[in-house]
Amino acid sequence: METRKKYIIENEIKVKNLLSDIYKNESSLLKDIQKKKDQLTDLENEYKRQKKIRNDLMNKFNRLKDSGSSDWEANKDEFEMVLRYAEGDKDGFVQMAESILNDINEKIRQGEEKVKKATDKSKEKISDMIAELKDRKNELQERLNEAREDSGEKWKDIKHWFMEKSKTAKEHFQSLVL
Domain check: are 61 and 86 in the same one? no
The string of pLDDT tens digits covering residues 30-75 is: 998 998 898 888 889 878 878 988 898 899 899 989 988 888 888 8
Task: List, as own/partner pairs, every contact residues 145-151 make where C-beta atoms lie below 8 angstroms and the sequence separation is at least 24, other chains included.
Answer: 147/90, 147/93, 147/94, 147/97, 148/94
Domain check: are 82 and 62 in the same one? no
Query: How far is Cα 83 from Cα 63, in angstroms, rounded to an integer?
Result: 13
The alpha carbon torsion through 40, 42, 46, 51 (nearest 10 deg) reads: 50
Q: How confident is the model at residue 175 (pLDDT cuts 50, 70, 90)?
A: low
Q: Would you give the distance in Å from CA 154 to the centre of its chain? A: 8
Query: How far is Cα 99 from Cα 117, in angstroms, rounded to an integer?
Result: 27
- Residue 178's pLDDT is 46
Query: How far is Cα 166 from Cα 139, in angstroms, rounded to an integer?
Result: 10
Domain check: are 44 and 127 in the same one? no
Domain check: are 142 and 163 in the same one? yes
Contact present, 130 and 176 (Cβ < 8 Å): yes
Q: Which of the pair, 78 or 87, is modelled with greater confidence?
A: 78
Q: Give the number of other Cβ atoms within 10 Å of residue 100's Cβ.
A: 23
Q: Give the number of other Cβ atoms within 10 Å of residue 60's Cβ.
A: 22
Domain check: are 56 and 128 in the same one? no
Query: Phi/psi at 115 (nearest 5 deg)?
Result: -60, -40
Percentage of the residues of the chain whose pLDDT score is greater than 70: 94
**How many structural domains are present in the chain?**
2
Q: Which domain holds residue 53?
A: 1-66
pTM: 0.54
Domain check: are 46 and 93 in the same one? no
Angle at 157 between CA 151 and CA 159, to 5 degrees: 85
